[in-house]
Structure formats: C-alpha cells, structure tokens
Structure 1
Amino acid sequence: MTIYDFKFKTIDGEDETLNQFKGKVLLIVNTASKCGFTPQYKDLQKLYEKHNAEGFEILGFPSNEFAKQEPANNQEVKQFCEINFGVTFPLSEKVQVRGNNIHPLFKYLTSQLAFEGFDMNDPSGKMISSVLKENFPEYLLDDSIKWNFTKFLIDRQGNVVGRFESPIEPMSIETQIQNLL
C-alpha cells in the first residue's frame, strides 16, 4: 500500500483519490477552526500560493476530536477557512484522525513516522505537552496524532518523509518543502 491508494471525500462531498497527486510534494494536515493553532491556516495558504506552481499541494483534513475544536459542519468549515484565511488548498470533509474510527490515511501516516515528542525548548511545545499530560494523557501513549495541525510531508515518490507536530509553524518547514521540489 502507498499513499496513492487512499481515498477521501472533499469538503463538498466529492470522492477523491490521492493518486491524482502522484509526482507532487504533499503536506497533509489535520485542522480545526477553534484551536490555538488555527492561525497556521494563514501560513499554510502562503506556502501553497508560493509553491503550488512548482508541484506542491496541501490537503487539510478537519477533525473535531481534540477538545471539540471543529464543531462546525463541512460547509461552515469551508466558509470559515475561505473568509478568515483565504484558503484555496483542498479540504476534506471532517474526519477522525485517531481512535477506532480513524480515517485509513491517518492510520497509514502515523504508521510511517513515529511521534518523537514536542520541542520542550519551544513555549508552544511545553504548553501542548503540559495540556496533554494533564487532560489527555492517553494521547501520549503511542504514535497517534496528538492534536490539531499535525503536519505530514510527502515526497514526489509518495514517501512520508516528515512529521511536524502541532506547535511547529508551517513557514519553519519551508526549506524541507523546497528541498523536495
């Protein structure tokens, strides 16, 4: 199985396959509209606009699993992203990114690259680690998604080559993206 074998429904309910992104560099992100990391949409859109013509794509997968920070329906999510952040990169319908009903794509992604912890030298890394230890300690037990805005970088051959946890700002991974383009 490769990344290109997975399917998803767009935020508008259309069936899509990742096969259409063969040969492109992908950044797959689980998102939410009411999260402290939601402003990352702005930089994700900047990266998309800057590098899309070079063969770069971003796929956003809204999820309501983390403190119910994506309560809106699909059309409300789409409208929120467009109005507040000018998002033009593809979004999926809301999915689950951990647990028993995990979307198969996220099961695959988390099986490819392990959770290596949060950067404890970064205040955001310390904060999310503390929140999880105190409120959701079970989230820290395995390689599953820990919170909203976990980012997976996929090379042009479909290999999962980078996992960037929630506090890692999108612009800070631009060099890795450029190296793959």
Structure 2
Amino acid sequence: LGKIDIQGPDAAKLLNWVYTNPWLKLEIGKCRYGLMLDENGMVFDDGVTARLGENHFLMTTTTGGAARVLGWLERWVQTEWPDMQVWMTSVTDHWSTFAVAGPNSRAVVKKVLTEVDLSNEAFPFMSWRTARAAGVPARVMRISFSGELSYEVNVPSNAGAHVWNA
C-alpha cells in the first residue's frame, strides 16, 4: 500500500475536499475509508486514512497509485488552494505492512503484538492503535476489505523481515 503523511492546520480540510466523504469530525485514533474522484467524476483512487493527531493523518492509497495520488494532491494545493496550510510526504518506503485477515486473525496477531488490547471494546473496527510487534514499534489498523476480522500491522521497513519471521 502507498502511504502519505499529511500534516498541518488544514489537513482535515484537504481530505474533505479530495474525498467523497467527510473528514472534519473524524476522531483521533479512528480510520475511515475514502474514495477519490477525478475532475470527470471517475474513480481516481481509494484507501483508508487514519487520524494520528489533531492536524495529522496517514493516508493509504493503492500500491500502484501512491506517486500519482501524491502528485495529484500537491497539484491541487499548489494551483487551486495555495493558501492552504498542509504538507504531504510520501512515507511508503518507511513502512512494511502485513495484512492479517480471517476468523483467526486476532489469535495470529496476538502472538507478535504487545502493549495493545485487541478486544472489540478496546480496539473497535475502523480504529488504529500503537503497539509493539516482535519488540518493534508498530501502528496497527483494525480494518477489513475481506468481510472478516482483519488487521494491518505497520512496522518500520527495516524491521519488516524481523516481524514477519517472528
């Protein structure tokens, strides 16, 4: 998956303008699926974005569309909304991501994740949490594109093989 770090006082406003659904009231610690349309109303990209802080988001894009989405966002900010205070950085190569889906996914990730409560009450659907994966700092999203219980575990890219082999 592509990953774009979006920060600044207008970060939520930018997301509100480029996605077809609202972002201004998304709570910190929550995720939302978003669909982007191009100028002709055709699907441009989609993905899940997590609100990391008041003015800080982590957008995931389709793997092949990451550079295109970042360029598109930068073009809008530079040409149409130049007064917008928002900064975008590609962080795709900073993270290794493991998707774990299925009825046993909680038991599987529980074997490597610590410092996080995986219960439904503490970690509801469409939220994210910090944790440690095989001793490495991680961001974990509880999202699903399969219809099953699912997690996306994100660790620094230099620790990907270590976590995978744990």
TM, length-normalised to structure 1: 0.27
- TM-score (normalised: structure 2): 0.29
Question: Taking CA–CA contacts closer than 8 Å with sequence separation of 6 or more, which of the two structures ends up with the larger relative contact order?
Answer: 1
Q: Hey, which of these two has a bigger chunk of helix by percent?
A: 1
* Higher strand residue share: 2
Larger radius of gyration: 2
